[in-house]
Amino acid sequence: MYEEPPAKRAVAFVDGANTRLCARKAFGDALMNINPLAMIQAVCAREGFELAGAYYYLGIPDVRVTEDGHYAWMKRCARWRRQGVRVFTRTLLQDDSGVSREKGIDVRLALDAVDLYRREPFDVAILFSQDQDFSELAAELKTLAREEGRWIEIVSAFPWNETLAPTQGIVGTRPLYLDQDLVGAVLDTAENRALRFKPIVHAAPQTPPPAEPVVPVFAHPQTTPAETAAAIELRLPVPVPAARRARLGGGLWLSAASALYLAAALATFVLLAARTAPGETHGPAALEAQLAEVTRDIAQAALWPLYWAQHDDLDRLAIRAAERASSIALPHWRFDTD
């Protein structure tokens, strides 16, 4: 069981149409015009929650159907936004019989709740609704909290009186009944319109200190700081993660393979010199070209155990081998018949 926090940060998600419908069923039309911020703050005060966010979702009439109704709701939503509530609206759609229906509101609410929890986890989600579709949202939030090892509570709040049929609210949530006294105190009156809520702004994460220069994998313990800095500037191989370094056996194993590679290259060079026919003379350019060609063939055969490694491991080995080979000055040998 996860530890319950002493101060619970709550975020409220209000299904406007469902909340108004529940208020009408419970108390009649006189108590259905609710101010969302006043209702949310009243619930948080009663439950001891710290309000961290207020979201309101509502379908509004199409301006082509009722212009007065459309702009009346737009003014209300604008006023609630000034109070600090995040308001999301969507135009109501009419079916073939002319009845206006709300589409997409529930999905938008669920997506916002999950996204907000991923970015800024909260302790309590207050769903102002009785819509059982939100049972999936409650289950998803609990799954996310369990994955992060956090405590969370999902509450479904809605207007209700004892004359209505018994209900437990949304499945998977704790029901929170809003009685007539509470609903009557949170109507959209001039007093409640003066309320203000300032969402909590989380401090930006501190910029981590700059990382120290990374020493190349093959750097010798006696390498000077100047040589190390030069190697980093030239983008020589950098350390691999600990897991991969353990899998590869560390730098010692790669150094041994690199030594084998160089030994094969030197042996090839000696063989080429010994096989030079009497009377032939090879300049440095021709000898280096032959050496490079034969060395590639020998390297492909000699390094076959490395093929199981990832490609960047082979790249690191090739870069280091080339670096070692380039540091060896090839003598300008001349083979004469005398």
Q: Give residue for tokens 């026919």.
A: 277
Q: pLDDT per residue over 42-51, tens digit each?
A: 999 999 999 9
- Whether the full predicted model's pTM is greater than 0.85, yes or no, is no
pLDDT at 65: 86
Q: Which of 132, 133, 119, 154 is nearest to 47 (CA)?
A: 154
Is the Cα dihedral 239, 244, 246, 247 positive or negative?
Answer: negative
Q: pLDDT per residue over 2-19, tens digit each?
A: 788 999 999 999 999 999
Contacts by 28-35 with C-beta closer than 8 Å and gap 24+? 31/159, 31/180, 31/183, 31/184, 31/187, 33/187, 33/188, 34/183, 34/186, 34/187, 34/188, 35/80, 35/186, 35/187, 35/188, 35/189, 35/192, 35/193, 35/195
Q: Which of 298, 279, 278, 276 is nearest to 287 (CA)?
A: 276
Mean pLDDT of the chain, nearest integer: 78
Angle at which helices 250-274 and 311-326 cross, to 10°: 50
Is the Cα dihedral 159, 165, 169, 175 positive or negative?
Answer: positive
pLDDT tier for residue 75 given thresholds of 50, 70 and 90: very high
pLDDT at 230: 60
pLDDT at 153: 96
Q: pLDDT per residue over 140-178, tens digit each?
A: 999 999 999 999 999 999 999 988 888 888 999 999 999
Q: Which domains does the chain have, with CATH numbers?
A: 9-193 (3.40.50.1010), 225-326 (no CATH)
Residue type, 338: D
pLDDT tier for residue 266 given thresholds of 50, 70 and 90: confident
pLDDT at 33: 94
Other CB atoms closer than 10 Å to residue 289's CB: what's the count? 11
pLDDT at 93: 86
pLDDT tier for residue 124 given thresholds of 50, 70 and 90: very high
